[in-house]
Structure 1
């Protein structure tokens, strides 16, 4: 505190000394620059993007002090290189001149023109009250006017009929510009690049954005409120137009050259089998039209095999065709990684060790085998008494064989059409969990097929997904209490006990995901959709007693092994809308639904526990604890997970900027709604069963606010949520918002902390 007072005294003293008060710079200087009239475009944005006004913010002390200290530094060091003792005073005042005035006006006007304000007016006034001290102020008044929008009433000027036809098709289906979008001249550069890529994908190898001219057409609307565009090819103002821009090129068969990891000098031609496998990935056939996107997808397919350190391509263009030469540098055959870490739960450390080994080129030049092992010794809450802490020992072992192609019949491959990034995976796994309450093992056998139809469409298909699960209990009081607890839950309609019975769960699974944006912490516009279909125990329908006797006899337990037959459907849709001229706010919407139906009477028509739906928690209904809501209006203690066979869930969230502090701190307001239900069965309470004429009365609603601290590389989230409608209450007592409290009560506020957005 003492040092602060001394520093403040020094500042007051130096500002009052005669040398500063009477100092007059040898040339005219800018005292200040003020900006007024900004409504749509913030003043901070203008100061950030227009250089001449960038450092003209208001200062704590007078300009005379800054100029005085600047002059003292220059006297001490004629080159101006001496480091100042006080960095606080190093922002120089620019020199006042007519040229500077002209540049400020022109550059602010240009910035507004770039942002679509074509009729903006920039007025400058000179404040010469301090002229005797060679200081001048500049007052900028901006009349923004109305922002222009694209009308989409465009003209096309192209002499080549083939190119003209492609432009027309592009403008109808692919254009980045849509009607009534705010005019922004930077979008025109993006439009030129997108149109050039469109031509490159149609065989025009030499075509580039320099061959395209896009100009504003101000003839159709003299008010400039709605502006059309003129597309011109070739661009009359283009400087680097290639004479072959309108020539179509076709591929010859590609040549693959490989550099061995142990030989870093020579590229060698690949053998026949490797060439054939690589051809299936890059999918370039002799006579095909040149396509820039197809080339990139093919190279990505090869790189995703994880066999090569680098993948590059060059073309021989000496002929009228393109001859691709693809150069590959092999990765090491063996790759071993090890990770040691830990977690802390209630002050008790939980270390873990993860090792993985990858062996490349096992049976062919493109396959690999992964081995992984994880051992952890972690603390967790007790299963019954959550206030107690138990030690948990866990081992996870897995191995998988991966090949960059789809092992499917040829007819099936033709049915799929064009696709890329294919992968077939076969694997085995073993999980072991040792808790004071139980010992649990799970043997897994799985197979997966992955592929994409485009950069936005992802597919997964699994024909084999087998799990053999068993639980045993040590001879301890804790284990005995846990078994009694499962019996009590069973009597209350909770099927958790089935998860601890010997079980064989098999299923066929299909998943489709569409996403038209890249995942990021930044606010975006777009949507994503996910559809999952699963059929469990399908083959059991064709076997006696709906069981696999071989499995039953091979793994004999104290209880008969449970075999499950079920169908499961899940749907996930999310929409993101940007708000405001700058798109710095967002409305995010989520809708989830699901059905899971067990048709196997041998298990009393119940699902494997993991195939149920759950609701509540930081990424679900945030006013309820994780997995504790429902089913229906069923009243529970809140200490146990609440499974359901039917899911309806939705959230809407408004996200907006607040302040900048070591990153962006954003706010959020949200409303969550939904519930889970069961199908009508004799062992389920009626209040937990889905009824078409009553389910809407059992929809839970929560609301709240939150903070998102965006550090660019990750986002920290805090949400405070409270119940609005609690379906567990009596019909006339469901509205509980007025009963919100920060302490224990009927409706306490739930605190949720997470990483990343909730959806």
Structure 2
């Protein structure tokens, strides 16, 4: 992979050297390369991107002022094999010399390489866009049609070509549009043959898209047509056909009167020229029978069809005994007996059956009941998924802590264990990866029970609607880490509720979250945090500490020697300077926090808002809010029952001091679409965790860190902050974080994209037991410690994931003296290279 990135970099930066004079040297005489399009509407220039789809020719993609994609295509050949053979045969002794140098097999490989490289240029290149008069005329017709659809029926459009004064091989096409007068809608009348449809129409005509005095727009007519189709089909008209709707417009072609009267025509449904055809006429349809088949209908026996269950007006058929509780099935069916036919209830029922996650591709069919022309029988056809299923997965993994890794998991799923579509999952998972120069691993086992409803002794009247996708998760799990911190082992138990509200916001409430963190290798602390060890070792040697604390290499023995020295300093039985004393006490306090086992009992809440309408929406934003409260209920119970205290005076539950804190996070992401080849992405983040009551610091697993490939890319992960302290520890973390990122993304060639970015942010200690002014956030003046990193990145889309390489440069380094912070470290020697998977945000 490194070789691929190296080749891409060399190609991008060295291509202009061997391209020659210009890409234009091979074009035919009299032809011009399209530099740009320009559109003038009534003499005013408008952004061409808004009308770009209407233009049949657009300029090639440019990178640093050169059309690389077009050059790739132009430099490709149609017959590389014959060209290579011709070159080989051009000289009598050339082939002999090459075979003696490479061998026949290697020559074949070179030939294949040249062919593959040529095919790569064709795949990633694009045809050089030359100005074409035929395409220009087609673009003019497209523009005329567009403005005609917007009420400008008399618009006039012409074009001209302007040759580039700096290079006469290039030119731009200018489209000059004179709109003329715009037509408006006048009176809106209706002519509806069916009395039933006429009644429904008049009751809902205030919702019409066609409004008097509104500018003419064909989109409004299409929207009105679709509105009426949905209205009738959701109001009982089962057999309604959208082609029954037409619009009659009376336009003054002389353009004296710019108002257009509109008549909405809706014909009745009958055979052509057969006025006596009453069976097919539009009428209200009612649901008279509902059949629910929980197994493949073709596999049901006569006995199965005769021994059905009727529950709340729904006939439930099954193969043998019914595997589900009837009330859980009928809740999913929004179609009700004796109700009017509705497409909406059909779609709602399909959605709820899919969310039930026990059936394959549910379908619903309607049939007329015998001898009736307006009574329907509904058949809900279901095929259950298998009771048990096995799953295996493997994936590449990347995070701020893990440079690169392989994640794998296996799972066993049991469905419908309590006859209510409950799902029990057993999952084993593991990760093996690399962090800096250390091989790290994590293995875990999780058991999760999922209910497709709110499982609680309390009633959620406003949220129990299945449209809101209410789900309950009860989970328990354990994991063990190796070579990450202190080889932590975790035990978790949680109860969570998920649902989606009417505004499509995803909401999660963690009613109960219990986490036990057990640091199994705490005596190894100073082997891992070598900077802290070096600091204390230097203080001990400078102050001539007891020689028995040192080994033969004159270094403090871990753990006995260094622990003894720290105890002497803390008890003030060994006099040292105030600065050294503060350093030792800070390191000792941090060690106690990081090595202590944590018991976290709390609740959390999160809400996610994403206004992306569909996969084609390029302008959208996402906002995530999270909050967490831990230890308050535990603290209340501990005080009521006079819980025991630990050596630091904190209450203990089950022999462990429990954590007590409040944490909240705000995350906002926004994307702006510029054109088909470029966009801007922005992210802002704020998080704070405040300890109180039984805690004076935050558990390591709940703290914040800065730096890394998904954060501030000019610093390595954990190597930024807190504040201006200089990241003296191996894993620098704190309890408040501010971050902001902005990135301009653009296409270079084919699947290769580039990015220019600037990252802001830092972490600080606040409201905890840290007193170092370089680490703490004491007021708005400390915002001058926000680090700024800038850089350039490349992304290569491999289809199933995006490979990313970012180079970050320290633009503003808060560690330095104030006068030296800007651009002092802005150089390639101190650049940080980040390899990541997919986009950073």
TM range (shorter): 0.5 to 0.7
Show the 5 A alignment for 1:160-559.
160=198, 162-163=200-201, 166=204, 168-169=206-207, 171=209, 193=226, 196-197=229-230, 205=238, 210=243, 233-234=264-265, 254-259=290-295, 263=299, 269-270=317-318, 271=322, 274-286=325-337, 292-318=343-369, 320=374, 323-339=377-393, 354-375=409-430, 378=432, 380-381=434-435, 387=437, 389-390=438-439, 392=440, 394-408=442-456, 411-414=459-462, 419-435=467-483, 438-453=486-501, 456-473=504-521, 485=533, 491-492=586-587, 495=590, 498-517=593-612, 524-545=618-639
Structure 1 residues 326 and 494, CA, compared in 2 at 3 Å: closer, same or farther? farther
CA–CA distance in structure 2, aligned partners of residues 216 and 716 of structure 1: 55
- Considering Cα pairs closer than 8 Å and 6+ residues apart, tell me whether 1 or 2 has the greater RCO: 2
Root-mean-square deviation (CA), in Å? 5.5
* CA deviation string 1:75-122 (max 9, x = no partner): xxxxxxxxxxxx99xxxxxxxxxxxx9998885444334554864646
Distance in 2 between the 1:246 and 1:548 partners? Answer: 77
> Match for 1:751 among 817, 828, 833?
833
- 2:810 maps to which residue? 723
For 1:649, the equivalent position in structure 2 comes to 739
Partner deviation per Cα, 1:215-240 (whole Å, 9 max, x = no partner): 9999899799xx99998644699999
Q: Quick check: 586-595 or 631-640, which moved more? A: 631-640
Written as runs of structure 1 = structure 2, the 5 A alignment for 1:645-724 is 645=736, 647-659=737-749, 661=750, 663=751, 665-711=752-798, 713-724=800-811
Cα distance in 2 between the residues matched to 1:431 and 1:254: 49
* Residues 562/147 of structure 1: CA separation in 2 closer, same or farther (3 Å cut): farther
Q: Deviations over 1:508-539 (max 9, x none)?
A: 1222112122685x771122222212211232
The 2-side partners of 1:655 and 1:228 are apart by 46
Going from structure 1 to structure 2, the CA distance change for 1:207 and 1:446 (only over 3 Å counts) comes to farther
- SS of the aligned residue for 1:737 comes to coil
Instruction: Point out the more displaced range, 703-712 or 162-171.
Output: 162-171
Distance 1:263 1:372, change over 3 A: farther
1:620 aligns with 2:711: yes
Q: Secondary structure of 1:635's match?
A: coil
Distance 2:259 2:591 in 1: 64
Taking a change above 3 Å as real, the CA distance of residues 621 and 150 of structure 1, as seen in their structure-2 partners, is farther
- Partner Cα separation in structure 2 for residue 548 and residue 152 of structure 1: 80
Structure 1 pair 538/171, CA: closer, same or farther in 2 (3 Å)?
farther
Q: What 5-or-longer segments of structure 1 have no aligned partner?
A: 1-30, 49-58, 62-86, 89-100, 126-138
Note the C-alpha offset of 1:741. Answer: 1.0
Contact (CA 8 Å) 1:706, 1:717: kept in 2 or not?
Answer: yes
Provide the secondary structure at the position in 1 that maps to 2:734.
coil
Contact 1:633 1:728 in 2 (8 A): yes
Distance 1:513-1:340 versus aligned 2 partners, 3 A rule: closer
Closer/same/farther in 2, CA of residues 335 and 752 from structure 1, 3 Å limit: same
Displacement after TM superposition at 1:201 (Å): 5.5
1:46 aligns with 2:82: no
Q: Following the alignment from structure 1 to structure 2, what is the Cα–Cα distance between the partners of residues 249 and 273?
A: 31
State the shift of 1:154 in Å.
Answer: 9.0
TM-score by length of structure 1 reads 0.68
Q: How many angstroms apart in 1 are the aligned matches of 2:763 and 2:256?
A: 56
Question: Which shows bigger deviation, 748-757 or 562-571?
Answer: 748-757
Match of residue 610 from structure 1: 701
Alignment of 1:111 onto 2:142: yes
Change (3 A) 1:704 1:207: farther
Contact 1:421 1:452 in 2 (8 A): yes
Counterpart-to-counterpart distance in 2, 1:675 and 1:116: 52
User: Which of 118, 143, 155 is the aligned partner of 2:175?
Assistant: 143
Given the alignment of the two structures, is residue 587 of structure 1 paired with residue 680 of structure 2, yes or no? yes
The more displaced of 500-509 and 684-693 is 684-693
Bigger radius of gyration, 1 or 2? 2
Take 1:466 and 1:417, find their aligned partners in 2: how far apart are those partners? 29
- TM-score, reference length from structure 2: 0.62
Over 3 Å counting, the alpha-carbon distance change for 1:309 and 1:740 in structure 2 is same
Q: Match for 2:668 among 569, 573, 578?
A: 573
For residue 84 of structure 1, what is the aligned residue in structure 2? Answer: none
Any stretches of 5+ residues in structure 2 without a counterpart? 1-29, 39-47, 59-72, 76-117, 120-131, 162-170, 192-197, 306-316, 534-558, 560-565, 567-582, 647-651
C-alpha distance 102-739 of structure 1, shift in aligned 2 (>3 A) = closer
Q: Which whole-Å deviations, capped at 9, do the CAs of 1:261-312 have from their partners, x for residues lacking one?
A: 9958898615596331123234444566655455334323322333222211
**2:428·2:446 contact (CA, 8 Å) conserved in 1?**
yes
**Structure-2 separation of matches of 1:727 and 1:496:** 25
The CA deviation at 1:434 is 3.8
- Contact 1:589 1:651 (C-alpha < 8 Å) held by counterparts: yes
Partners of 2:256 and 2:798 in 1: CA distance:
44
